[in-house]
Structure 1
Amino acid sequence: MTTAERADVCVVGAGPAGVVAALRAARLGARTALITRDAVGGMAATDGPVPVRVLAQAARLRREARHLSRYGIDVGDTALDYGRLLTRVREVVEDVAEHSVMRTELQDAGVILHANAGTARFTGPHTIEAEHGIRVQADKVIICAGGTHRPLPVPGADLAGSHRDAWNLTTVPESLLVIGAGATGAQVASVFTELGSRVMLFEAGPRILATEDEDVSRVMAASFRASGMDVRQDFGRIDRFEKAPAGVRMIFTKEGTADGVEATMAVVAIGWLADTAGLNLAAAGVATDGRGYVQVDEHLRTTAPHVFAAGDITGRLMLVPQAVQDGYLAATNAVLDHEATLTPPASPIGSFTDPEYAQVGLTEAQARQDHDVVVAMVPFSVAARPIIDGRPTGFCKLVVDRGTHRILGCHVVGERAVEIVQVGAVAVAAAMPVEQLVRIPLSFPTYSNVLGRAAVDAARRLDVPGFWDE
């Protein structure tokens, strides 16, 4: 038996939550060990936002190339060399791994790093063992093992891949069937449509991007269809997958009538599960909730008092910025025995589809449940910068409380939507009345100026004194 290494804190998983948790614990003076199954950075760096954004950038560049002639630039037809694109993906992933995942900071802080250690598991309340021979005994443990895709429980489901399989393709498929039109599914569908696949996007619910504002779902569906994508909402129930000459066939039923579609490849993107396989949580007394996520309280403490959890494995907002904040909070409470809580006043969310979409705060429907609201919605087609760039599709929507004038929500579809919403997030987090946002002279012509125009429209609808006196 390998002699156990001693640590005050052992962090399991080196994605954004785990890296920040380990850094925070070490900087608070704790002897800290960090164990990761694979490389430092987790899915975000190797199988998530980083490689996906490279593919999305290639898709964006192809789109821009088609518009060059409108600006007097003639370069002829473009051709995609997917092999060279994948080389670029690998270069970026390696560059990020070297410069952006904080390996140097971990070393400088004195974190004992065990990368590529294989799957880690509890062998007792305070002991963690990894399959490649690492064994750590720690007073406190922080679990940051991340999430994994949710499989479909239907016959033949093994014939369908996950988003990971889509990003790891070596050629662009002639046709692609994407099941599930949440953030991941929409992004897969959007990227491969632009890269040249004939894409079918199937959503069992009544609308794609169901967690977004209804106007966002409506405009995104219309934009996808305009790009040539086959978007089907409320399509029915999947019965099974079968092998087909072209690749795979999905059989589904709606209102008693069976139907089927074929594609070179099928990708299932119906949600995320906690990646708890192999952790042997029971050995430490750590329970999961009804959805299978590690159960934590508001301080990120699990059902075992000495074990904390952070990031995707808790099932909270499964995004990089939130994971970073979780990691910081969990380590602070673990090392200092504090009971700090973190309730972010605003969590901006967005996706690099074409067009982009993003949001912060309440949707219009959510806001109307508890507030009397004013809604201002400005189309991109009346704003200077989108017109200049030839990107007039989209809108900026503000949801404002009529009584307090506070901005409750901001929703954007269109070019630079993710960036625009970062500005909106500051206003929401600051509980800013809309007239205060109006007073900020956003630069012209910029995409953020669309947000300023929406704020002006909201203030006008509220009849704010001093702005609209005749």
Structure 2
Amino acid sequence: MASFDYDLFVIGGGSGGVRAARLTALDGHRVGLAESSRMGGTCVIRGCVPKKLMVYASEYCESAGLAREYGWDMRVGAFDWGLFRDHLNGELDRLEETYTTNAEKAGVTIHKARARLTDPHSIELDDGTIVTARHILLALGGRPNVPDMTNAHLGIVSDDIFHLDALPRKMLIVGGGYIGCEFAGIFNGLGVEVQQFVRKAQILRGFDDEARGHVADCMTQRGITIHTGCSPTAIEERDGRIWVKGSNGHEDTFDTLLWATGRNPNTVDIGLEEVGVKLDRRGAVRVDDHLQTDVPSIFALGDCIGRVELTPVAIREAIAFHKTVFGGEPTKMDYDLIPSATFTQPEMGTVGLTEEEAEERGPTLVYATAFRPMQMAFAGGTERVLFKMLVDRDTDRVLGVHIVGPHAAEMIQFVAVALKMGATKADFDRTCAVHPTMAEEMVTLREPVRTLA
């Protein structure tokens, strides 16, 4: 039997890669891991975590205004971007150290190096070291996409946001996905004038049409200018600022241009195809139901396989991989009814089918309500929250739930548990409400607003 340096070698120190490495090392196996950037990966270092902290920062000005309506003598001063940024970087340093320490305590050997495959069992590190492994796990993550157009380099991507020297006065965000919309809300909340170019007719493609329309309306009411059906056609540097012309004829000059035009699997120049690992047209690693590539010794998970690009999914895939390869328990990842949230302002939480998907599936009852929550209504606010439930007309099973409003992400987590258990509309109906809350609307939706044939 061939002798290897490691039983498992993981390329990528993000959430999925680290989880697989730790679980395997804790079982007593020899595990190595290579990370060329920072331990923690996209989510921890330049994605979910710092973005959510920025969301919190951007909401305090509105909270102070709300507090005044409740009798507090509140005064809002200027936002100190430098103070916040430095504190944020300190927190990311702490999290990176935690990821590193936990992996090393479990027995993982960490190589701070870029890794490249040279054969189905061999990895070359960028210092020239060659290591071998019985199994290799690709946890390569993704990278922001920048359009191929003249002067595109004048823009920044989401990875760069957390290193800005100062807040821009005026900003253009190109892209209508969740990253673009989240940063639009963040910078608008921090006092930046924000415009958004969206190539499609509406933001948040792939989400429920009614829910994403509700989010768009609220974003517009909060002062964000959304240009739908619009892409940049020309970009120039003018007097230290960035002039942009859109396909709808709109042109303006900005301090910062942010490309939020999707992400690509980070599979370039890793040696994958040379050793027989096949990629799809997007460059994502092709894997089977057990996350195995076309090369039996090589597996892949997370954003680089392009299935469901969410951190909790990568972690669950890591657990499935560990059970399959090292636990003697072949396990498939369950991609059904995965809840998700977009930290737009307002927030949106969703699980299950959209109305459009449900209509294609068969007869569906649509329950929905939009209202001003008590906290906002008292302060004279006009923004409404949306609760929506899609129910199979024949079986009464709940097919999907969409919530737009404060704490939508927190609520959808527990709704997802009910849907995963197969909850019916009758189950929600016989559950007593918690009053006064927004969430009680989930159990007080009585009559459908429409029926889908």
- Within 5 Å, give how 1:33-432 maps onto structure 2: 33-99=32-98, 101=99, 103-114=100-111, 117-132=112-127, 134-235=129-230, 237-245=231-239, 247-254=241-248, 258-336=249-327, 339-381=330-372, 384=374, 387=377, 392-432=383-423
In 2, the alpha carbon distance for the partners of 1:220 and 1:279 equals 39
In 2, the alpha carbon distance for the partners of 1:244 and 1:217 equals 35
| 2:53 is equivalent to residue 32 of structure 1 | no
In 2, the alpha carbon distance for the partners of 1:389 and 1:10 equals 56
% identity of equivalent residues: 28
Report SS of the residue matched to 1:60.
helix
Per-residue Cα deviation, 1:162-214 (whole angstroms, up to 9, x for no partner): 11222321211011100101000001111001111110011010100111111
Per-residue Cα deviation, 1:313-366 (whole angstroms, up to 9, x for no partner): 001111111111111222332335654212233111112221111211100010
In 2, the alpha carbon distance for the partners of 1:45 and 1:190 equals 20
Q: Structure 1 residues 388, 111: CA separation in 2 closer, same or farther (over 3 Å shift)?
A: farther
In 2, the alpha carbon distance for the partners of 1:411 and 1:294 equals 31
In 1, the alpha carbon distance for the partners of 2:444 and 2:380 equals 19
Q: Structure 1 residues 389, 292: CA separation in 2 closer, same or farther (over 3 Å shift)?
A: farther
TM-score, length of structure 2 as denominator length: 0.93
In 1, the alpha carbon distance for the partners of 2:33 and 2:323 equals 16
Give the conservation status (yes or no) of the 8 Å contact 1:350–1:358.
yes
Give the conservation status (yes or no) of the 8 Å contact 1:385–1:445.
no
Give the conservation status (yes or no) of the 8 Å contact 2:46–2:158.
no
Give the conservation status (yes or no) of the 8 Å contact 1:306–1:334.
no
> What is residue 467 of structure 1 aligned with on the other side?
none
Q: Measure how far apart 1:36 and its partner are.
A: 1.2
Report SS of the residue matched to 2:187.
helix
Give the conservation status (yes or no) of the 8 Å contact 2:66–2:379.
no
Give the conservation status (yes or no) of the 8 Å contact 2:61–2:76.
no
In 1, the alpha carbon distance for the partners of 2:376 and 2:411 equals 13
In 1, the alpha carbon distance for the partners of 2:440 and 2:416 equals 15
Report SS of the residue matched to 2:444.
helix
Give the conservation status (yes or no) of the 8 Å contact 2:12–2:41.
yes
Q: Measure how far apart 1:78 and its partner are.
A: 2.4
Give the conservation status (yes or no) of the 8 Å contact 1:376–1:457.
yes
Q: Measure how far apart 1:64 and its partner are.
A: 0.3
* Aligned-partner residue type, residue 187 of structure 1: E
- State which drifts further: 138-147 or 161-170: 161-170
> What is residue 466 of structure 1 aligned with on the other side?
none
Give the conservation status (yes or no) of the 8 Å contact 1:119–1:278.
no
Q: Measure how far apart 1:389 and its partner are.
A: 7.8
Give the conservation status (yes or no) of the 8 Å contact 1:142–1:309.
yes
Gaps of 5+ in 1: 463-470
Report SS of the residue matched to 1:87.
helix
- State which drifts further: 367-376 or 22-31: 22-31
Give the conservation status (yes or no) of the 8 Å contact 2:34–2:114.
no
Q: Measure how far apart 1:58 and its partner are.
A: 0.6
In 2, the alpha carbon distance for the partners of 1:279 and 1:10 equals 14
Q: Measure how far apart 1:409 and its partner are.
A: 0.5
- State which drifts further: 119-128 or 445-454: 445-454
Give the conservation status (yes or no) of the 8 Å contact 1:400–1:434.
yes
Per-residue Cα deviation, 1:109-141 (whole angstroms, up to 9, x for no partner): 322222xx2321112221112224553210110
Give the conservation status (yes or no) of the 8 Å contact 2:4–2:134.
no
In 2, the alpha carbon distance for the partners of 1:80 and 1:162 equals 23
The total of aligned residue pairs comes to 448
Q: Measure how far apart 1:267 and its partner are.
A: 0.8
Q: Measure how far apart 1:156 and its partner are.
A: 1.4
